[in-house]
């Protein structure tokens, strides 16, 4: 492993490879579940570095965990357990920022570390909204992490995160790493290094965009949710209909960039907060809205009583951190907290 770590350091620089248990603890733990071992956490700073790191890890037969903001709740963002049959390497892509608005903002091109928060702020300037709004937008969730998880579903008209335009690497049937360029941007070059370098440098124009019938959002969702007697939910994890290359891949490929649709911001907004002690009221209301409304609401969100009660008592620290530190600084604050927890847990007399 020492050789592989050395190879990573040669690619991304010594400071961008973590190997000590205390330093990697945060990156080895999931937000809600999952904690495990990893030999190294590597932070590429360019798309070409990401490609080279992948190449070293694949050649060495490592298990690779792609990690962005690490807000995923399904266990895919971190290792789980210490009994992997191969060395585990975490590739944390949060430094790979980059956002290009395409066709006057009708679509956006996002890199692995581009956050939904950044995209939302950028689109505000042109009166548009992103394909996805998550609870975790405020704590730094990324566009590509969302696409990989098909995150979302509360937005009635925009659906969950989905695109058929992606640039990603996969390990093929022969065990070789290969770059699949389905981003729909032509003239970027032939080799992975050329393509990734030109893309990152923004060396393309709207004239290079390819449109061939593929979609950059789940544009059928608004129709599907009107099927009142469907025997499966409208949105569930690993829905086979939403698995397409990087979309829904949950880290099984390594994504470099995606094109996603953006949407016109609504001209007027009105929020309704409804409460009931009888859930059947909402079942009736839901069926009525979906069956009879010509225009569906932008978003519908459900909260149970326990959520309100819990928020009265807990998580004030997170609310204050978002307010005073801001979304941009939260991932660093979480990493610092994890380091402090790791150290404090080593002191036997302190409560765990």
Ligand X SMILES: Cc1cc2nc3c(=O)[nH]c(=O)nc-3n(C[C@H](O)[C@H](O)[C@H](O)COP(=O)(O)OP(=O)(O)OC[C@H]3O[C@@H](n4cnc5c(N)ncnc54)[C@H](O)[C@@H]3O)c2cc1C
Binding site for ligand X (CB under 6 A): 31, 65-73, 76-77, 93, 112, 134-136, 139, 141-142, 144-146, 148-149, 151-152, 250-251, 253-255
HSE value, Cβ hemisphere, 13 Å, CA-based, for 237: 7
Instruction: State the nearest-atom distance from the C-beta of 310 to ligand X, in Å.
Output: 12
Instruction: State the nearest-atom distance from the C-beta of 151 to ligand X, in Å.
Output: 3
Task: Give yes or no for a contact between 58 and 81, defined as CB atoms under 8 angstroms apart.
Answer: no
Report how far apart the first and last C-alpha atoms of the chain are (Å, whole number).
32
Instruction: State the nearest-atom distance from the C-beta of 234 to ligand X, in Å.
Output: 13
Residue closer to ligand X by CB (options 8, 213) is 8
Residue closer to ligand X by CB (options 69, 156) is 69
Instruction: State the nearest-atom distance from the C-beta of 91 to ligand X, in Å.
Output: 8
Residue closer to ligand X by CB (options 112, 184) is 112
Task: Give yes or no for a contact between 66 and 255, defined as CB atoms under 8 angstroms apart.
Answer: yes
Instruction: State the nearest-atom distance from the C-beta of 278 to ligand X, in Å.
Output: 25
Largest CA distance in the chain: 65
Sign of CA dihedral 82, 84, 85, 91: negative
Q: In 75-87, which positions are buried (b, 16+ CB within 10 angstroms) versus exposed (e)?
A: ebbbbbeeebeeb
Instruction: State the nearest-atom distance from the C-beta of 300 to ligand X, in Å.
Output: 12
Residue closer to ligand X by CB (options 224, 277) is 224
Instruction: State the nearest-atom distance from the C-beta of 65 to ligand X, in Å.
Output: 6
Distance between CA 105 and CA 102 in Å, rounded?
5
Residue closer to ligand X by CB (options 51, 204) is 51
Residue closer to ligand X by CB (options 107, 115) is 115
Distance between CA 87 and CA 80 in Å, rounded?
13
Residue closer to ligand X by CB (options 4, 54) is 54
Q: What is the 3-state secondary structure (H, E, C) of 47-59?
A: HHHHHHHHHHHHH
Residue closer to ligand X by CB (options 126, 238) is 238
Instruction: State the nearest-atom distance from the C-beta of 306 to ligand X, in Å.
Output: 16
């Amino acid at each position: 492993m020492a050789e592989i770590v050395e190879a990573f350091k040669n690619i991304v620089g010594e400071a961008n490879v973590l190997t000590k248990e205390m330093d990697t603890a945060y990156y080895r733990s999931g937000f809600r579940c999952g904690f495990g071992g990893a030999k190294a956490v590597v932070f590429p700073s360019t798309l070409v570095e990401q490609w080279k790191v992948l190449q070293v890890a694949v050649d060495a037969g490592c298990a690779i965990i792609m990690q962005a903001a690490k807000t995923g709740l399904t266990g895919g963002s971190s290792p789980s357990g210490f009994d992997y049959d191969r060395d585990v390497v975490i590739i944390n892509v949060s430094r790979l920022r980059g956002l290009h608005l395409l066709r006057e903002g009708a679509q956006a091109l996002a890199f692995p570390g581009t956050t939904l928060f950044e995209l939302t702020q950028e689109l505000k300037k042109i009166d548009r909204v992103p394909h996805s709004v998550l609870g975790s937008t405020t704590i730094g969730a990324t566009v590509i992490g969302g696409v990989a998880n098909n995150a979302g579903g509360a937005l009635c008209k925009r659906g969950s995160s989905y695109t058929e335009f992606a640039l990603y690497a996969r390990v093929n049937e022969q065990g070789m790493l290969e770059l699949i360029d389905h981003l729909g941007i032509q003239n970027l070059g032939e080799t992975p290094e050329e393509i990734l370098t030109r893309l990152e440098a923004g060396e393309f124009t709207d004239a290079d965009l390819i449109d061939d019938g593929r979609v950059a959002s789940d544009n059928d969702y608004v129709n599907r949710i009107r099927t009142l007697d469907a025997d499966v939910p409208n949105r569930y994890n690993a829905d086979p209909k939403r698995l397409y290359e990087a979309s829904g891949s949950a880290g099984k490929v390594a994504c470099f960039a995606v094109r996603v649709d953006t949407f016109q911001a609504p001209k007027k907004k009105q929020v309704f907060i409804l409460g009931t002690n009888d859930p059947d009221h909402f079942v009736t209301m839901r069926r009525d809205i979906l069956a009879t409304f010509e225009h569906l609401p932008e978003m519908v969100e459900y909260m149970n009583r326990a959520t309100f009660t819990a928020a009265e008592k807990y998580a004030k620290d997170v609310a204050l951190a978002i307010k005073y530190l801001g979304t941009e600084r939260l991932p660093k604050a979480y990493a610092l907290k994890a380091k402090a927890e790791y150290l404090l847990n080593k002191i036997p007399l302190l409560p765990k």
